[in-house]
Amino acid sequence: MEDIIQSFQEADGMIKMQILEQIPTPVMAVDKEFRVTYMNDAGKRSVNKKWEDISGKKCCDIWNSSHCNTEECRMRKAIDSGKMHSARTEVIIDNFKKPFEYYAVPLKDVQGNIIGGLEFVIDIAERIQYEERLKEQSHTIREMSTPTIELWSGVLVLPVVGVVDSMRAQHMIESMLNKIAETHSKVIIMDIQGVAAVDTAVANHIIKITVATKLMGCECILSGITPAVAQTIIQLGIDMVNIKTKSTLSDGLAEAFKILNLEVKNKE
């Protein structure tokens, strides 16, 4: 869109009109009072109006977007600042809300005085749907990569595999706290055997997770610490004295039973 705007600004009058009419998305020009002075054919089709129903009307009466008559209006910002502004908004057309992205640039006369603004509008409904699908897929992947499982009554386990970054750590905290509230569990085992490397950031995420679970009245046990990870933690000088640690998940489960005063016996 920026390339189209640049090409338009560098063209002469007749070529500008040809450019505007060939653009397949709505283009609108207004004066400083926000009265519509031009709209290309794509724009007229988009709002489902004829030129005689558009000419001279306030742009807010044509588009009726969520930014109209507010400080968020990018056309107003473009005219006031003399610079291009863009944003996403929703437009109500025939009683239906449609998502649009629009770019507003100031219109100037030959002396360089701002006489109005030009607006380029893009229908982003398909893009929004695509972004929502990506978010859903990303959420599903996060859920699959950090499942909080009820291993025993009152005991949860969170197997962690791969890299733990800030976003994943936040999701882990949310998942664990929600599961704790849902099951009223008193112990959660976070098994990090699948975490290949630990640095200061990862260790801090783990400490935050253990603190958050304790605030929910749930004891957190860290299991699956490999020799390489243990050495790294020592080399980094990270204080994990207040965190219960066990070498394996089975040891962690045994500690959880001990905390809950449970005992597992072989059936005779």
Confidence at residue 110, expressed as pLDDT on a 0 to 100 scale: 82
Q: Sketch out the chain's domains with CATH numbers.
A: 2-123 (3.30.450.20), 139-259 (3.30.750.24)
Going by C-alpha positions, the residue among 103, 101, 106 that lies closest to residue 81 is: 106
Query: How many CA atoms, within 13 angstroms, populate the side-chain half-sphere of residue 120?
Result: 21
Residue in the block written with tokens 């039973």: 257
Percent of the chain with pLDDT over 90: 32
Which residues touch 204 (CB under 8 Å, ≥6 apart)?
238
Note the pLDDT tens digit of each residue in 29-56: 999 999 999 999 888 988 888 999 999 9
The pLDDT of residue 3 is above 60: no
The pLDDT of residue 73 is above 60: yes
Across the range 88-108, mean pLDDT stands at 85
The pLDDT of residue 115 is above 70: yes
Contact criterion met (CB below 8 Å) for 124 and 225: no
Is pTM beyond 0.95? Reply is no
Q: In sequence order, what are the beta bridge partners of 106?
A: 117
Q: How far apart are CA 164 and CA 128, in angstroms?
A: 29
Confidence at residue 19, expressed as pLDDT on a 0 to 100 scale: 62
The pLDDT of residue 107 is above 80: yes
| Start-end of H helices in the chain | 2-10, 13-22, 41-47, 59-63, 74-81, 125-145, 166-183, 200-215, 227-236, 249-259
What type of residue sits at position 95? N
Going by C-alpha positions, the residue among 247, 251, 267 that lies closest to residue 259 is: 251
Q: DSSP readout, 155-190?
A: EEEEEEES---HHHHHHHHHHHHHHHHHHT-SEEEE
Q: How far apart are CA 249 and CA 227, in angstroms?
A: 15
The pLDDT of residue 156 is above 80: yes
Q: In sequence order, what are the beta bridge partners of 103?
A: 86, 120
Confidence at residue 123, expressed as pLDDT on a 0 to 100 scale: 85
Q: Give the best-scoring range by mean pLDDT among 159-173, 191-205, 213-227.
A: 213-227
